[in-house]
Structure 1
Amino acid sequence: MALSLLEKLQVWFFRATMTVLYAVFRFFSPATDAGKKLPPIRNDLLLVSATQLAKKIRRREVSSVEVVQACIDRIQEVNHLLNAVIKDRFSAALQEASQVDKLIEEETGGEEVLEDRLPLLGVPLSVKESFSLQGMPNTTGLIARKDVIATVDAPPVALLKRAGAIPLGVTNTSELCMWSESHNHLHGITKNPYNLERTSGGSSGGEGSIVGGAGAVIGIGSDIGGSIRIPSFYNGIFGHKTTPGIVSTENHYPSCSGRHKEYVSIGPMCRYAEDLLPMLKIMAGPKASMLSLNTKVDLKKLRFFTVPHDGGSKFTNPVNKEFLDIQRKIVEHLEENLGVTVKEVGFPELRYGFPMWFTYLSLPDDDGNPPKPFAELMGGPGPAAWPMWEFLKRLFGKSNHTLPAIFLGLMEMTHPSKPSEFMIQQKQQLQRKMDELLGTDAVLLYPSHPKVAPHHHQPLFNAFDFAYTGIFNILGLPVTQCPLGLGEEGLPLGVQVVAGKLQDHLTIATALYLERAFGGWRDPGAN
């Protein structure tokens, strides 16, 4: 469906306006990190997957204390540059690692028993601060919650700990987890390990940054519009948006309201694709049986599809040529090496990705309960915020809230109370087409984002580009974000791999293949 002349003019005006605004913003915001970069990785333990580290620890080839200390040393080396870990628990982590080593020393059942019972025994883990981790802050960057300390572990965190993983600390998020840059007025801004002048993404940007920067080998994120996949893409790591409803969202802040449970996903973030499957098995708990995670996948028997862009939405930027080229290379590689046919398809409904996402996140649940107003969340334990008042205060540097949070509050106030029937119709059509296309034996390639990781605060001027990830939240589909090496600017490239509902094993199997073919994560210090 071609754009009308009016729509083309609207697109041109929107992009021209944003370009001018951004140029002005950059002029008055000089870079302070120019020339700085992360040091290269010196400890080889930081170049080993969690799966292999656990095996080495069980076999006593290396101690858990050595592995945990290696990660602590790396965090202390890079975190002053990244601002990713906002509260550590290093002393407790080392004590727990020492207990792990003692347990292994005393274990008489053999390596297989330990692997079955404690598959991540002794492996360091970072945790997004929006998840409850006992004894750690649980603020999501909100000044009104600055004194909130978690008293319990969120279920997926508890399951990872029960499997032997050792939390090192909690990582930064965007304010209330609702923006594509991890920046708030409580903990500051998190930076990209490949270029400190660039964003790490959000809302799981602290996780993406410290995992990509090799301070942690695995992490845990949440995703309602791309909050796992965007940071994973920007920071050159793997991230998996699980089929919704599989991994518990309990003890995550903000909690779900309205129909948000249908769209939010909790999933793993890691540098090595082989860690995705074991992490998901653990985090899913009893619901892991709903997925076919033990099924061996023969990629030659899958059907492959590729969608190069959203069809020309007036809300999003055009996809960078570099991304179009790398996706075409994936197609050529799959066809040449697997002997499959990758069919290019298009969906005109994708042009409405952002308004569809916003419409569905505003819907009430089956009992008629609407989602909790964002202005109420901004108030924390106190009264709801007044977004317009906060905007006026922000002009004078007096607001406790970031501009993205204020703008979201204002957007919510001006959003029509009655949902758009057109957007509901578009989503239903797209859902039907996607479900029919993917079934249980297909994967689809789709750009992660229109552009590489932008400069800090630039997402303010490209606010709706997250529609490339957000659309799959309201469709309820599993997606694995795959790194594909570095582009011309030395920043990570990537692609989303999408499958039908509950077919998470297909996207993860494809991610493993693409890692072998394109190299996966790269050391940002060697960049």
Structure 2
Amino acid sequence: MKIARIFRAILRLILTLFGLILNPLTGFIFHLVYDKNARKVPPIQNEILLQSATRLAQRIRQREVKAVTVMEAFIDRVKTVNPIVNAVVANRFDEAIKEARAVDSLLDGGDLSEEYSENKAPWLGVPLSVKEAFALSGMPNSSGLLVRQGTLATSDASVVVSLKKAGVIPFIVTNTSELCMWYESANHLYGRTKNPYDTARIVGGSSGGEGCIIAAGGAVIGIGSDIGGSIRMPAFFCGIFGHRTSKGVVPNDGQFPSPTANDMDLLSTGPMCRYAEDLKPMLQIMAGNNARMLKLDQKVDLGSLKYYTMEDDGGSLLASNVDPQLKEAQIKAVIYIEQNFNLTVKKVKLHRFKYSLEMWSALMYSSGGTSFCEYMGNMEGVVNPFPELLKWLVGRSKHTLPAIGLGIGEKFDALLASTNEKFLKCLEELKTELKELLGEDGILLYPSHPLLAPYHNEPMLHPFNFSYTGLFNALGLPVTQCPLGLSSEGLPMGMQIICSMFNDHLSLALARELEHGLGGWTNPGHIA
């Protein structure tokens, strides 16, 4: 235990010095390397692409627009933007067109069975994007692991089944980080995904391809999964909405890798979309019979809720300081809430938040699930990360550096056993504190990430910044990432909206209100 404490203290000192001395220099280097060829996606001109999935579903059913016309519009957009951003790694365009035509034939016939009624299939004909980690029959399912190249899903994940029954048509699958455990979506199988607002920047991970293609207008809704912020970070970096559902509500099966043992408690499957009005109906479908647990049909009086705000993690030396522009954006949201509902948003300082990384790590590494090195070996053996690091240094490894680093870190878990116990206790105390603070009618506003979208590879200099999202995986609480406009550099800003367990309806309602009042998603093609 003493060795672990000394190691942690030394690490904190090194990172602090690095931040004060080297970060400005490395930032300048990244600027020189990546900004020279930076681009943004072209403006969206087709009005079909600028409508919510809810609205498109209404228009298709009312025969104002054909399903095949909608599908063709999104396919054309993917073909336009994907050569720029590399978000889509496989498609089923031909099958999707056939399925859209079948929808049109059904609706034109007018005599629909109960299966295709508005009640059973509310989103009939709406295009759907799917994270490649989810099984979609006949499509790749590798999560960027090179040895799984050519592996095709033979069935659909549960959430895919539910959404198909609701009428959506899957047409693309999107990129992830290797094995979905890093916050930049890049791997040796599919390459690197680039931000539609600035291709020199990351899209986040692991659901980075989803966040990117939705923000770029190539999709309107998508499926993401989140074990440490893998929905919310891409949604933040790409300026869209993403929701981490209350623990245990939406089925997590049908993913690779699929967490085992207590790792599953950290994982949440949820919706990603451009428009806040799509969050609730999508979540209702994805949750199936469990949707009643979330009170999604309950009317929310936003003016009667309690609001709290916290602008940083309280002083962790392992995470970066929050960018001043992100603090200003959150303050702007606070002012809007206060003025719109004639109430006071209370500023809080929850001191245990500065141990966010430690609490998430303690829960992750004490879960007893499958090791990351086993996943690296495709469950057919255990990869030794130390030789892989040597191979990486000479360009011969099949794995990315973040994956190798995670594998190496895993080998030192035993040294932190007693320290993990301490932080698991800290986590339980924080759960109690938040339950008392939020109750059934409270909302906490908190940064989604401390930095604006970094340059490619830059996350390796700030590996612990995911702690801003990872904390809530450890807590199991529902969280909605809400976009808050663009920075002076033209990069998306946002914040997290947190509420107590099974009160997802509160954060979703506030996200929709803030979209109305502060603008929501911004078309990246229209940035000056």
User: What residue is the counterpart of 1:466 in the other structure?
Assistant: 466
2:54 paired with 1:54: no
Structure-1 separation of matches of 2:418 and 2:43: 51
Q: Report the Cα distance in structure 2 between the residues aligned to 1:334 and 1:400, rounded to whole angstroms.
A: 49
- In structure 2, the partner of 1:359 is 362
Contact 2:34 2:455 in 1 (8 A): no
Are residues 1:284 and 2:282 paired? no
Contact 1:144 1:381 (C-alpha < 8 Å) held by counterparts: no
SS at match of 1:240: strand
Give me the whole-angstrom Cα distance separating, in 2, the residues matched to 1:47 and 1:20. 38
Displacement of 1:325 in angstroms is 1.0
Moved more, 345-354 or 213-222: 345-354
Aligned to 1:423: 423
Of residues 249-258 and 297-306 in structure 1, the stretch that sits farther from structure 2 once superposed is 249-258
Residues 427 and 21 from structure 1, CA distance in 2 versus in 1: closer, same or farther, beyond 3 angstroms? Answer: farther
Number of the residue aligned with 1:206: 209
Moved more, 34-43 or 97-106: 34-43
The one-letter code of the counterpart of 2:269 is I
Percentage of pairs with the same residue: 48
SS in 1 for 2:414: coil
Q: Does 1:178 align with 2:176?
A: no
SS at match of 2:30: helix
State the TM-score, normalized to the length of structure 2: 0.95
Query: 2:331 — aligned with what?
Result: 328
Any gaps of 5 or more consecutive residues in structure 1?
365-369
Q: Distance in 1 between matches of 2:313 and 2:27?
A: 26
Residue 148 of structure 1: how far off its partner (Å): 1.0
Deviations 1:469-520 (A, max 9, x none): 0000000100000001111110001010000000000000000000011100
Cα deviation, 1:167-222, whole Å, max 9, x if unaligned, reads: 11110000000000000000000010000000000000000000000000000000
Aligned to 1:145: 148
What is aligned with 2:226? Answer: 223
Distance 1:396 1:7 in 2: 27
**Which residue identity does 2:127 align to in structure 1?**
P
| Cα contact 1:7–1:314 (8 A) shared by 2 | no
The answer to whether residue 63 in structure 2 is matched with residue 65 in structure 1 is no
Does 1:476 pair with 2:479? Answer: no
- Asked if 1:517 corresponds to 2:520, the answer is no
- Partners of 1:18 and 1:223 in 2: how far apart? 31
Counterparts of 1:246 and 1:315, CA distance in 2? 31
Once the two structures are TM-superposed, the CA of residue 112 in structure 1 deviates from its matched residue by 12
Distance 2:463 2:24 in 1: 15
Looking at structure 2, the residues matched to 153 and 409 of structure 1 have their Cα atoms a distance apart, in angstroms, of 29
Distance change (3 Å), C-alpha of 1:482 and 1:378: same
Residues 193 and 524 in structure 1, CA contact (< 8 A), matched pair in contact too: yes
Q: Distance in 1 between matches of 2:482 and 2:288?
A: 24
Alignment of 1:368-447 (within 5 A): 370-416=368-414, 418-420=417-419, 421-447=421-447
Partner of 2:499: 499
Find the aligned partners of 2:493 and 2:149 in 1 and give their Cα distance. Answer: 36
Tell whether the 8 Å contact from 1:145 to 1:381 is kept in structure 2 after alignment: no
Evaluate the alpha carbon distance shift between residue 47 and residue 289 of structure 1 in structure 2; reply closer, same or farther with a 3 A threshold: same
Tell me how far 1:403 sits from its aligned partner: 0.4
Deviations 1:227-280 (A, max 9, x none): 000000000100000001111011111111131121110000000000000000
> In structure 1, how many angstroms separate the alpha carbons of the residues matched to 2:478 and 2:369?
23
Gaps of 5+ in 2: 1-8
Letter of the structure 2 residue corresponding to residue 519 of structure 1: G
After the TM superposition, which parts of structure 1 deviate over 4 Å for at least 4 consecutive aligned residues?
5-11, 109-113
1:196 alignment partner in structure 2: 199
Q: Distance in 2 between matches of 1:63 and 1:238?
A: 27
Corresponding residue number in structure 2 for 1:74? 77
Tell me the distance in 2 between the aligned counterparts of 1:426 and 1:22: 35
Q: Distance in 1 between matches of 2:101 and 2:188?
A: 36
RMSD: 1.9
1:129 equivalent in structure 2? 132
Contact map agreement 1:144 1:382 (CA 8 A) in 2: no
Structure 2 match to 1:367: none
Cα shift at 1:31: 2.4
Distance 1:471 1:18, change over 3 A: farther
Aligned residues: 517
Q: Is the 8 A contact 1:484 1:519 kept in 2?
A: yes
The 5 Å alignment of 1:230-245 reads 230-245=233-248
Secondary structure, counterpart of 1:308 in structure 2: coil
Q: Provide closer, same or farther for how the CA distance between residues 106 and 340 of structure 1 changes in structure 2, counting only shifts above 3 A.
A: same
Distance between the aligned counterparts of 2:169 and 2:441, measured in 1? Answer: 36
Displacement of 1:34 after TM fit? 2.2
Q: Please report how far the alpha carbon of residue 143 of structure 1 lies from its aligned counterpart in structure 2 after TM superposition.
A: 0.7
Partner secondary structure for residue 219 of structure 1: strand
2:289 and 2:524 mapped to 1: Cα distance?
Answer: 37
